[in-house]
Structure 1
Amino acid sequence: MSANGPQRDVFEAIADPTRRRLIQMLAAKEEIPLHELTAPFAMGRTAVSKHLAILKEAGLVVDRKVGRETRFRLNAAPLREVQDWAAYTSTFWSANMARLNQLLLEEEEQ
């Protein structure tokens, strides 16, 4: 992450199912070493590391070295943007669907 904030869009970072699975795994534990994050996937450490780098660029993951091991933890704060967007779109579509339903009922009555 740069001093000016995340280098990658949070929506872009969570668009990939592998990265969403990594977020779920990180949310379940305080901190996870790379070898544990790699185990459930049918890909090597390098591929998982690339996914983690994207999550890190979006500010969703923080890592630290412990000896020769790298451990990762979730920083869920950037997901607030996703939550806010989902809440807005839910409200928007609920209101529009209610209006559409009302219009259709009025047309049926005519």
Structure 2
Amino acid sequence: MNQIATVDAVMRTLADPTRRSLFERVVNAEEMTVAELTRGSGVTQGAISQHLKSLKQAGLVADRAEGRNVFYRAEPQGLAPLVDWMSHYGVFWRERFANLKTLLKEIDP
């Protein structure tokens, strides 16, 4: 998968509020099972599993099977393409604000 497709996959995956919530819960825990993620979520276990599959395909979580349980943990490097993309635009906006500041100083001596 090329860099653009990876950014698209991460953005598309995190655009869904349920997946974003699941990702945040996994990030805040060392590891969590599907059952733990389902508890109190108001979403079925099947739906949680599908959302976790999407998060895994986007490289945002990894899983580990232990007996009958599958444990999910966050994969921080999965956010790297998004961070890189955002840092590019951070430079863009800093330059634009610097230009605006210069222009405003010229207009109002």
TM-score tier by shorter-chain length is 0.7 to 0.9
Runs (5+) with no aligned partner, structure 1:
1-5
1:106 is paired with a residue of what secondary structure? helix
2:43 is paired with a residue of what secondary structure? coil
User: In 1, Cα distance between the equivalents of 2:17 and 2:86?
Assistant: 18
Q: 1:15 aligns to what?
A: 15
Q: 2:90 aligns to what?
A: 90
Partner deviation per Cα, 1:1-31 (whole Å, 9 max, x = no partner): xxxxx7x722221222222222221122221
1:77 is paired with a residue of what secondary structure? helix
User: In 1, Cα distance between the equivalents of 2:81 and 2:22?
Assistant: 19
Q: 1:66 aligns to what?
A: 66
User: In 2, Cα distance between the equivalents of 1:94 and 1:17?
Assistant: 29
Partner deviation per Cα, 1:26-82 (whole Å, 9 max, x = no partner): 122221111111124221111111111100111111122222222111111121111
TM-score under structure 2 length normalisation: 0.80
How far apart are residue 107 of structure 1 and its match?
A: 2.5
How far apart are residue 95 of structure 1 and its match?
A: 1.3
User: In 2, Cα distance between the equivalents of 1:91 and 1:22?
Assistant: 31
Q: 2:80 aligns to what?
A: 80
Root-mean-square deviation (Å): 1.9
Q: 1:29 aligns to what?
A: 29
Residue identity over aligned pairs, in percent, reads: 37
The one-letter code of the counterpart of 1:20 is R
User: In 2, Cα distance between the equivalents of 1:98 and 1:81?
Assistant: 26
Runs (5+) with no aligned partner, structure 2:
1-5
The one-letter code of the counterpart of 1:77 is Q
Normalized per residue, the structure richer in helix is 2
100-109 or 69-78, larger mean C-alpha shift: 100-109
